C-alpha cells in the first residue's frame, strides 16, 4: 500500500497527532502535507538524522528485512541485532509510528501488524543504502546482446482492446457473475500476451476456473481504474473515466498501470522487493542479467540468507521480469555466450509528470484498398473511434485496421453518420482520404436508416370503454404515440414510469413490463476532444478516488484490517511502570545480591537492558537468561560498550556470561525513560 492509500485511511485523531511532531513543523507551516513529507527524500533525510539510535536501528531492520511486507513485533525483534533489547525495539517502533514512517493495523483478535508504505520503502532504500549502484555498472559488458523482439501493443494497448470490445458488444454476465463462455473465448483470442509470461506472478483471482489469467488481469485493471463497473447483469463502461484515460499520454498511462501492477504482483519477501527497486535504477536501454541484480543485493547485505543467488535470480525472472516483458516495458535478449539479459524499453514509473507538454498527435494512413496503417504515435483517443468504424487486423509497432461494409454498419448502428465517418478519417489521415474509399463509404451507408426496427411498448386495455377513458385523461397525450386498434396504444418507451403514475392516480393499475428498457440503448461512446492537460486534471481526481473492486486477490489481509487510531506514547510501553522501584532507574550504584537478582529478572521480563560497571568500564547488558551456577547464579546476554555502530547505534560485542559478583554498580534501563548512560 502506498502513502496516499494509507493516509486516506488514517483516523482524524491519528493525523492530528502526527502533525504535532516537532520535526515536521517547518514544512507544515509552508503548506506541505504529511503525504508530501513522507515521500520527499530531502525531508526524510532530515527526519532520519533526528531519530534516536533505537529508532534508526528499527528502521534499518524494517527496510532491510521486511521491506513492504507486513510484520509483527516478534518478527521485528528477530530481525534486530542481538545487542538491541526488546524494549528498545518497542520504543524504536513507537517512534516510527508517531512520525508516520510505519503504520499499525489491528487484527480481528486484537494483535497488531505493521506496514511500511511501498513508496516509502523505495525512498528509504535510497536514503539508507546510498551505495547501491545507479546502473549496476554492467551495461558495457552486454552491449553486443541481441534483442528477441517486442511484445505487441503492450499492457495499455491490450487494455484498450478489452474496453473497445466492451463498447462494441457489451460485457453481459451470466447468473454466476462471469462473462459468457463465447465472449470469454473471443476476448482471449484478441489478447496478444506471450503465453506463460504472467504465470510466474502467482496471482489468485475470482472465477479462476473460468477466466484465463491474461483476461483476468485486464478486467481487473479496468475495474480498478473505474473504466468498467460491475452492474447487476453486465460490466458497464464508464464514459467519463474512459474519456480522460484515453486522452492521457501513453507514458502517463504506463505510470498508472505500473503502480497498479506493483500493488497486485510485487514479489513477496524483502530480497525480491529490494531487487524490484534496484531494477528501477538501471538506465533505459542498458542490458543487464537478473544474476547481476542479485549480486548487488548480496554485496549490500540485502539478499537474505534463505535462498541461493541462483534461486533468487530465477524467482526474480519468473515473478517480476517475465510479466514486464509481456507488458512491453522490458525486452529480453541474448548475449553471444547465450546469457539471458534484459533492458528497459520504457521506464513506466516515471510517467512524464504534470509539466509534460502536449505533443503533436500522430496520424494514420488510409490506403485505397481500405486498409488503415496506424503508427505508434497515434493516440488512443483516435484509435477509439477507429475501433468503432473499422476492424483491427493486426496489432504491433504499426497496427493495421480494415474498413468493411460490416464495420461501417456497426458504426452507423452506434450513432455515427456517413459524413461523420468521412470527416473523422480526413481529419486524421496523413495523406488524406482516397476518393474511392470515401465514395464507397457513402454507398455502404446510403441504405442505412430507410427502414429500421423500433422497440415499442404497447398499452393494452381490457375493453373499448377503458381505452376511451385512458385517452381522455388529462396529460395522457404526451405519453401516447398513436392508437393501435380500438383497445391498444403505442406508448413512449422512455416515459413509462410517469405514465404508470398517472394511470395509478386515475384508478388504473398498469404494471411495468419486464425489462421495460428505460435504460438507453447501448451506444459506442463518442468521446469529446480533450487535451492531455485537461485529461491529467480530470484523471488525477479519478485516480485519487481509486477502486479496490478488482478480480485479483491481495496477497496480504492487512487491507482488511482497521488502522490503529492511536500511537503508543512512552508510558504505554511500560504498563506496570509504577511497580518498579524508582531507585533502580535513577541510582547507579551497588546493590545487595538479592536486589541484583530481582533487577536482572525484571530486565528479562521487560526485555530491556541493564547498565553495569564492569572492570572500570560502563557496559550495556541485554540479559537473555539466568541460571544457577555452583551455589551462585549467572546471567547471559549481549554486552555492549558505548560507541557508534553502522546504523548509528552502539558498538556490539560478543555474547557474554557474568557471575553474580563480577560487576559493581548497576541500573535498570527503560528506553524513553532513562536511556541515557
Q: pLDDT digits over 413-435, tens only?
A: 888 899 999 999 999 999 999 99
Q: Are strands 112-115 and 103-106 parallel, antiparallel or unpaired?
A: antiparallel
**Per-residue confidence at 151, pLDDT binned at 50, 70, 90?**
low
Classify each residue of 446-472 as buried b or exposed e, where b means 16 or more C-beta atoms within 10 Å of its C-beta: eeeeeeeeeeebebebeeeeebeebee
- Which pLDDT band holds residue 138 (cuts at 50, 70, 90)? low
Helix (H, G, I), strand (E, B) or coil at 428: helix
- Per-residue cell: 316: 526474480
Q: Which of 525-534, 616-625, 662-671 has the lowest mean pLDDT?
A: 525-534
User: Angle at Cα 263 formed by Cα 262 and Cα 268, nearest 5°?
Assistant: 80
Min mean pLDDT across 75-84, 154-163, 400-409 is at 75-84
Cα–chain center distance at 123: 17
Cβ atoms of 225 and 256 within 8 Å: the answer is yes
Given this model, what pLDDT does residue 10 score?
92
Using an 8 Å Cβ cutoff, are 328 and 154 in contact?
yes
**Distance, CA of 166 to chain centre:** 24
Q: In this structure, what C-alpha cell is assigned to residue 312?
A: 533468487
Strand partners, 659: 634
pLDDT range class, residue 543, cuts 50, 70, 90: low
Residues in CB range of 628: below 8 A, 6 or more apart: none
pLDDT at 652 over 50: yes
Q: Does the pLDDT at position 537 exceed 70? A: no
- pLDDT for residue 135: 53
Class of the domain covering 3-128? mainly alpha
Report d(CA 395, CA 401) in Å as an integer.
9
How far apart, in whole angstroms, are the C-alpha atoms of residue 203 and residue 326?
15
Of all helices (H) and strands (E), which one includes residue 244?
helix 239-247
Lowest mean pLDDT among 5-14, 224-233, 424-433, 542-551: 542-551
The verdict on pTM exceeding 0.85 is no
Interval 337-351 mean pLDDT: 88
Place of cell 384508478: 507
- Pairwise CA distance, residues 59 & 649, whole Å: 12
- Average pLDDT on 533-552 reads 65
Phi then psi for 248, rounded to 5 degrees? -70, 145
Whether 519 has a pLDDT exceeding 80, the answer reads no
pLDDT band (50, 70, 90) for residue 541: low
Largest interatomic CA distance in the chain: 117
H helix or E strand, kind and range, residue 23: none
457-513 pLDDT, tens digit per residue, is 888 888 899 999 989 999 888 888 888 888 898 887 777 888 888 888 888 867 666
Which burial class, exposed, middle or buried, applies to 486 when counting CB atoms under 10 A from its CB (0-12, 13-18, 19+)?
exposed
pLDDT at 94: 94
Q: How far is CA 354 from CA 102, 123, 251, 329, 542, in A?
A: 29, 21, 12, 21, 15
- DSSP lists the bridge partners of residue 228 as 237
Percentage of the chain beyond pLDDT 70 is 89
Strands 330-334 and 112-115: unpaired
| Joined grid coordinates for residue 21 | 511532531
Mean pLDDT of the chain: 86
Amino acid at each position: 500500500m502506498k502513502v496516499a492509500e494509507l493516509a486516506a485511511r488514517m483516523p482524524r485523531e491519528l493525523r492530528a497527532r502526527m502533525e504535532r511532531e516537532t520535526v515536521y513543523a517547518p514544512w507544515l507551516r509552508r503548506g506541505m502535507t504529511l503525504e508530501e513529507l513522507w515521500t520527499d527524500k530531502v525531508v526524510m533525510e532530515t527526519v532520519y538524522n533526528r531519530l534516536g539510535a533505537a529508532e534508526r536501528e528499527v528502521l534499518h531492520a524494517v527496510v532491510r528485512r521486511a521491506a513492504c511486507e507486513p510484520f509483527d513485533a516478534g518478527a521485528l525483534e528477530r530481525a534486530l541485532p542481538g545487542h538491541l533489547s526488546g524494549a528498545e525495539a518497542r520504543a524504536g517502533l513507537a517512534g516510527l509510528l508517531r512520525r508516520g514512517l510505519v503504520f499499525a493495523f489491528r487484527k480481528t483478535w486484537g494483535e497488531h501488524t505493521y506496514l511500511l508504505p511501498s513508496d516509502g520503502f523505495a525512498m528509504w532504500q535510497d536514503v539508507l543504502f546510498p551505495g547501491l549502484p545507479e546502473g549496476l555498472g554492467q551495461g558495457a559488458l552486454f552491449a553486443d546482446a541481441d534483442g528477441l523482439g517486442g511484445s505487441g501493443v503492450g499492457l495499455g494497448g491490450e487494455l484498450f482492446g478489452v474496453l473497445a470490445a466492451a463498447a462494441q458488444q457489451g460485457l453481459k454476465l451470466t447468473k454466476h457473475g462471469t462473462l459468457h463462455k463465447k465472449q470469454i473465448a473471443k476476448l482471449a483470442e484478441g489478447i496478444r500476451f506471450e503465453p506463460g509470461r504472467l504465470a510466474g506472478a502467482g496471482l489468485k483471482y475470482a472465477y479462476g476456473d473460468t477466466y484465463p489469467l491474461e483476461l483476468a488481469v485486464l478486467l481487473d485493471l479496468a475495474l480498478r481504474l473505474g473504466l468498467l463497473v460491475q452492474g447487476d447483469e453486465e460490466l458497464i463502461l464508464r464514459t467519463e473515466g474512459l474519456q480522460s484515460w484515453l486522452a492521457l499520454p501513453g507514458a502517463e498511462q504506463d505510470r498508472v498501470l505500473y503502480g497498479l501492477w506493483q500493488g497486485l504482483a510485487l514479489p513477496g519477501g524483502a530480497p525480491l522487493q529490494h531487487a524490484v527497486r534496484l531494477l528501477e535504477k538501471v538506465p533505459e536501454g542498458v542490458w543487464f542479467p537478473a544474476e547481476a541484480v542479485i549480486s548487488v543485493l548480496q554485496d549490500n547485505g540485502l539478499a537474505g540468507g534463505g535462498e541461493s543467488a541462483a534461486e533468487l535470480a530465477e524467482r526474480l525472472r519468473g515473478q517480476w521480469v517475465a510479466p514486464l516483458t509481456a507488458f512491453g516495458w522490458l525486452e529480453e535478449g541474448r548475449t553471444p555466450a547465450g546469457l539471458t539479459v534484459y533492458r528497459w524499453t520504457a521506464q513506466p514509473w516515471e510517467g512524464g509528470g504534470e509539466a509534460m507538454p502536449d505533443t503533436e498527435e500522430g496520424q494514420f494512413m488510409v490506403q485505397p484498398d481500405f486498409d488503415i496503417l496506424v503508427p505508434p504515435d497515434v493516440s488512443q483517443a483516435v484509435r477509439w473511434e477507429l475501433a468503432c468504424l473499422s476492424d483491427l487486423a493486426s496489432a504491433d509497432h504499426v497496427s493495421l485496421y480494415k474498413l468493411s461494409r460490416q464495420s461501417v454498419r456497426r458504426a452507423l448502428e452506434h450513432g455515427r453518420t456517413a459524413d461523420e465517418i468521412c470527416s473523422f478519417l480526413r481529419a486524421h489521415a496523413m495523406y488524406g482520404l482516397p476518393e474511392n474509399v470515401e465514395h464507397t463509404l457513402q454507398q455502404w451507408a446510403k441504405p442505412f436508416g430507410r427502414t429500421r426496427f423500433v422497440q415499442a411498448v404497447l398499452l393494452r386495455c381490457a375493453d373499448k370503454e377503458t381505452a376511451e377513458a385512458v385517452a381522455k385523461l388529462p396529460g395522457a397525450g404526451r405519453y401516447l404515440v398513436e392508437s393501435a386498434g380500438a383497445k391498444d396504444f403505442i406508448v413512449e418507451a422512455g416515459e413509462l414510469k410517469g405514465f404508470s403514475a398517472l394511470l395509478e392516480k386515475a384508478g388504473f393499475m398498469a404494471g411495468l413490463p419486464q425489462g421495460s428498457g428505460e435504460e438507453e440503448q447501448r451506444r459506442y461512446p463518442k468521446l469529446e476532444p480533450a487535451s492531455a492537460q485537461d485529461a491529467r486534471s480530470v484523471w488525477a481526481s479519478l485516480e485519487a478516488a481509486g477502486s479496490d473492486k478488482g478480480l485479483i486477490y491481495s496477497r496480504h489481509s492487512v487491507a482488511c484490517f482497521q488502522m490503529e487510531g492511536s500511537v503508543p506514547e512512552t508510558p504505554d510501553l511500560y504498563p506496570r511502570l509504577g511497580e518498579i522501584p524508582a531507585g533502580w532507574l535513577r541510582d547507579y550504584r551497588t546493590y545487595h545480591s538479592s536486589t541484583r537478582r530481582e533487577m536482572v529478572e525484571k530486565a528479562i521480563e521487560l526485555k530491556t537492558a541493564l547498565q553495569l560497571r564492569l572492570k572500570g568500564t560502563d557496559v550495556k547488558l541485554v540479559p537473555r537468561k539466568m541460571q544457577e551456577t555452583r551455589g551462585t547464579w549467572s546471567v547471559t546476554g549481549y554486552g555492549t560498550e558505548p560507541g557508534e555502530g553502522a546504523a548509528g547505534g552502539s558498538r556490539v560485542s560478543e555474547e557474554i556470561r557474568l557471575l553474580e559478583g563480577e560487576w559493581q554498580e548497576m541500573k535498570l534501563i527503560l528506553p524513553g525513560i532513562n536511556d541515557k548512560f
